[in-house]
Structure 1
Amino acid sequence: MNDQNEQQHYKNRSVWLRGLFMLIFIFLMGVTKFVTVVVVGFQFLVILFTAEKNDNLLNFGKSLSVYEYQVMLYLTYNSEFKPFPMGDWPKE
């Protein structure tokens, strides 16, 4: 690769824009990890006191894990799909 091509690559707006999105999604992954811990803890307490799983927590936990998977695919360049908040929240 010659110097001119390298300079054009560094000036490529789409590369920098993706980098910005990646920083946003890295921050959101930290938030989702915290939320996952809260959901896990709350589900444990619900089961401990009621002996039944909370269906709303099950569904939210599943969609949260799908979201985390979508973010990881985007961050590792395995997908061009931008997850929530740029795209829709996963249904499952």
Structure 2
Amino acid sequence: MSEQREPRHESLLLRLLWMVVFFFVWQLAELLLAGVVLAQLVCRLVQGAPSGPLLGFGDSLSQYLAQIGRFGTFNTERKPWPFADWPLPRTPDGEAPAAETRP
């Protein structure tokens, strides 16, 4: 009976290790997202519209944070990036991005 419980216990310990790693990744990604929010605010104030590339990156990053949250709360067994693909940005449903100007 203890032989059956050991692999499950070992699996839980491995998951706990990954949860700790992703906790620190979450902290870094959260700071990065705050930077994107501030950069978008500056773009909106200066250009009158948000930056297109930052819209896409911000959406992908927020989806990544959601994936970490789902893994950490046992809603999924699938580990986030780099074990899965990086989330693709969705089409924005807010303001249109600023038009790109080329020199």
Any stretches of 5+ residues in structure 1 without a counterpart?
A: none
Q: Secondary structure at the match of 2:32?
A: helix
Structure with the higher fraction of residues in helix conformation: 1
Q: Secondary structure at the match of 1:88?
A: coil
Correspondence 1:40-59 to 2 at 5 A = 40-59=37-56
| TM-score, with length taken from structure 2 | 0.77
Matched residue pairs, number? 87
Q: Secondary structure at the match of 1:90?
A: coil
Amino acid aligned to 1:31: L
What value does the CA root-mean-square deviation take over the aligned residues?
A: 1.7
2 CA distance for matches of 1:12 and 1:24?
19
| TM-score, with length taken from structure 1 | 0.85
Identical counterparts, % of pairs: 33
Amino acid aligned to 1:27: F
Any stretches of 5+ residues in structure 2 without a counterpart?
A: 90-103
